Amino acid sequence: MSGPRVVFQHQLQMRRKTRKPPSVPRRPDLSITEILAWADAFHQRTGRWPKRDSGRIPESLDDAWSNVRDSLQKGNRGLPKGSSLAQLLAEHRGVRNIADLPRLTVQQIVAWADAHHNRTGEWPRAESEPILDAPGETWTGVDCSLTVGRRGLRGGSSLARLLAKHRGVRNKRDLPHLQVAQILKWADAHHNRTGQWPKKESGAIVDAPGEIWTDVDQVLRVGLRGLPGGSSLARLLAKHRGRRNHLALPPLTPALILKWADAHHRHTGKWPLRNSGPITDARGETWMAVENALSKSLRGLAGGSSLARFLSEHRGVRNIMALPHLNTELILKRADAHHSRTGQWPTRTSGPITESHGELWMAVESALRGGRRGLSGRSTLTRFLKQHGRV
């Protein structure tokens, strides 16, 4: 039984091996004319030229652009070998083939840049608009070719470097070194022209096209363009030109403030207020700056005070923001003295209180009405005197 079965299985295997696979219908040949017609239809329909991944071809029964590309590359279906869809469209329709771009030269790039400058008033940058004088070209592509070294260019450059070299355009990534002497020269010219020393907000440096004071301050702080850093424009001018640096003011002492206040009182007959302006005997100092230092604990002072409190404490100057309390006995005592001296009881218009330096009857009236300085309020000077048998 085993013998005939073995023979039968052998015969079955031989039949399977000799059985021909089902035939696959052969794709029809293609022609360049036919492919171009399909490409024209695609372009008319979409506004773009087809690529290998553009999908199926509606004008063909079962072809896709990937099949066309493979046939052009491998030489199938009656087409010559070694081409591509991009090459075919570049040759017959002038479509830009990014895999086979024309060579570039420095002279050509500079000519495009000149045309861009004449048209816009600015030199092109990598992110500028497409190159109008060369359809399909972009400044980004040119910059990349200059950097990497493509399309016949050597590489190691950039659009900014090329324009700096051939047209003197300022390259922000490759700025020349700065020296302290040069910055001071620019600052002196600014001062001579405006009467003021420059600040970082002073804008463009007239004597150095392309330079601005903000950039100078930044490189002085950070340490760029050959400078060591750790400074600033304000510190540089304070050190070399004696300009007052508001971020590094000299310390103050109570003795120095009193010296300035006494001088102010001698010159004007009045004690200074915080809005009294500049301090005559201290160039650059103001009474408002002294007020801030006294109140905010700046420039070596303890803080928590004010100019008015300071002068009240050290010179007995009346501080209207911290007037002493009043009471019935004190007001009556001063009213009796006024009556003895003038024969009349005081009113709110009676002016200064002789027995109290800096006090006015108007201020007493105000305290009686408003309930300030320890008084209960809702009264007047006349009512108060009547209430206590003085009128």
List pLDDT tens digits, range 335-362. 999 999 999 999 999 999 988 777 889 9
Q: 3-class SS at 351?
A: coil
More confident residue, 138 or 94: 138
What is the per-residue pLDDT across 33-91, written as a single tens digit (0 to 9) for each?
Answer: 999 999 999 999 999 999 989 999 998 878 899 989 999 889 888 898 888 898 898 88
- Looking at the chain, the number of H-run helices and the number of E-run strands are 16, 0
Confidence band of 20 (pLDDT split at 50, 70, 90): low
Tokens of 383: 């009512």
Domain map of the chain by residue range?
Answer: 32-93, 106-167, 180-241, 254-315, 328-387
Share of the chain above pLDDT 70, in %: 93
Q: What is the mean pLDDT of the chain?
A: 87
Q: Output the pLDDT for position 1.
A: 47
Residue with tokens 């002789």: 354
Residue 180 and residue 232 in contact, taking contact as beta carbons nearer than 8 Å: no
Q: Is the pLDDT of residue 22 over 90?
A: no
By CB neighbour count within 10 A (0-12 exposed, 13-18 middle, 19+ buried), where does 337 fall?
Answer: middle
Whole-angstrom Cα distance, residue 65 to residue 58? 10
* Three-state secondary structure string covering 293-329: HHHHCCCCCCCCCCHHHHHHHHHCCCCCCCCCCCCHH
**Could you tell me how far CA 24 lies from the centroid of its own chain?**
68
Residues in the chain: 391
| Farthest-apart Cα atoms in the chain, separation | 160
Q: Coil, strand, or helix at residue 352?
A: strand
Q: Which amino acid type is present at position 377? A: G
Residue 152 carries which side chain, given as an amino acid letter?
Answer: G
Chain CA centroid to CA 313, Å: 47
What is the number of alpha carbons within 13 Å of residue 326 lying toward its C-beta? 26
User: Is the confidence at residue 147, as pLDDT, over 50?
Assistant: yes
Give the sign of the dihedral formed by CA 291, CA 295, CA 299, CA 300. Answer: positive
Q: Looking at 22-31, 172-181, 306-315, which range is the least confident one?
A: 22-31
